[in-house]
Amino acid sequence: SKHRCLQSGAAFRRGLGPSLSLGSDEVEVEVNDSLMRFFDHCAKFVALVEENDAAMCQVHAFKEGPEMRKVLEKVASALCLPVEELNADLVQVAFLTCSYELAIKNVTSPWCSLFSEEDAKVLEYLNDLKQYWKRGYGYDINSRSSCILFQDIFQHLDKAVEESKSSKPISSPLIVQVGHAETLQPLLALMGFFKDDEPLKANNYIRQTGRKFRSGQIVPYAANLVFVLYHCDQVKTSKEEYQVQMLLNEKLMLFHHSNETISTYEDLKDYYKDILENCHFKEECELPKVNITAIDEL
């Protein structure tokens, strides 16, 4: 329901063009916040992560750590300010101003002159830490809250397979769901993508130089995840008749169970069987009844 999301959806529909009969903004759009903003409707996530300052302890620790201290001192020197007048949040605002202008307008902001490539890597890690602990692998509830969306995707795929097997026309050959980076990041974590062997922490910046979890690459502007279902005629077994590919930001993804870019639909469902059958949004998101601290529960 967010205005920027509705506008993005309208722009996407215009981009599809009249050839698909979706070129008009008058196309009926269903706003479903409980599905696309599941994180707002998950009491456990809201209470124990979103509104719990202690859940971001690794982020706070990195802001006070040696890597950020070095960046602060350098920026303070460039601005001829006492370092005490700066903090990590202010420096991050300057860095984001630089990056936004570069990304949106292709303009090199004066703020960019404050930062070297190494500084940018430190500030990138600061943002990745926040995304990791708030939307990624930091706490199970971050990703488990997205199972409602994950199951919805497979319900649509199931319906298409069922209609195909019955030789019926596919009622929804294209389904577009528009959300936010905060919608997509937990979903990808639920599926196990971009998971590092070691958690991202305040004290392992150097060891995480080659990390998989880079939110700027996973969910950049206009991030998109596409499931493509194929009906294959010339196959040796009935199992191979329906196959799936996944693309993230228009690039094919390797499936975990096969290490290939295509999977039979049956194998994919079997790999995610536990999430499809045993991840129930209501139970996952219920706040614990007993009186324990948030961090203990997480």
Question: What pLDDT sits at residue 292?
Answer: 55
Whether residue 21 has pLDDT greater than 80: no
Name the burial class of residue 266, with classes exposed (0-12), middle (13-18) and buried (19+) by CB atoms within 10 angstroms of its CB: middle
> CA 279 to CA 168: how far, in whole Å?
31
Whether residue 243 has pLDDT greater than 90: yes
CA distances from residue 28 to 69, 225, 233 in whole angstroms, order as listed: 51, 22, 34
Whether residue 295 has pLDDT greater than 90: no
Question: What pLDDT sits at residue 294?
Answer: 55
CA distances from residue 214 to 132, 170, 181, 264 in whole angstroms, order as listed: 9, 37, 13, 29
Whose tokens are 């990624």? That residue is 136
> CA 38 to CA 224: how far, in whole Å?
17
For 162-217, write each residue's pLDDT tens digit. 999 999 999 999 999 999 999 999 999 999 999 999 999 999 999 999 999 999 99
Whether residue 50 has pLDDT greater than 60: yes
Whether residue 23 has pLDDT greater than 60: no
Whether residue 142 has pLDDT greater than 70: yes
Strand ranges, E, within the chain: 225-231, 242-248, 251-252, 263-264
Whether residue 25 has pLDDT greater than 80: no
Q: Please state, rounded to an integer, the average pLDDT across all residues of the chain.
A: 93
Beta bridge partners of 230: 243
The overall longest dimension of the chain from CA atoms, in Å, is 73
Q: By the 8 A CB rule, do 193 and 187 touch?
A: no
Whether residue 251 has pLDDT greater than 60: yes
> CA 162 to CA 215: how far, in whole Å?
36
Q: What is the DSSP string of 202-233?
A: TT-TTTTTT-S--HHHHS-TT--EEEEEEE-S
SS3 content of the chain, % helix, strand, coil (to 5): 55, 5, 40
| More confident site: 288 or 41 | 41
Whether residue 20 has pLDDT greater than 70: no
Whether residue 85 has pLDDT greater than 90: yes
For 89-130, write each residue's pLDDT tens digit. 999 999 999 999 999 999 999 999 999 999 999 999 999 999
> CA 202 to CA 198: how far, in whole Å?
12
pLDDT tier, 15 (very low <50, low <70, confident <90, very high otherwise): confident
Residue 175's SS3 state is coil
> CA 169 to CA 275: how far, in whole Å?
29
Whether residue 75 has pLDDT greater than 80: yes
Q: By the 8 A CB rule, do 213 and 136 touch?
A: yes
CA distances from residue 19 to 22, 24, 76, 155, 263 in whole angstroms, order as listed: 8, 11, 55, 27, 30
For the CA atoms of 54, 58, 219, 268, what is the dihedral angle to 10 degrees?
A: -90
For the CA atoms of 57, 61, 62, 66, what is the dihedral angle to 10 degrees?
A: -170
pLDDT tier, 87 (very low <50, low <70, confident <90, very high otherwise): very high
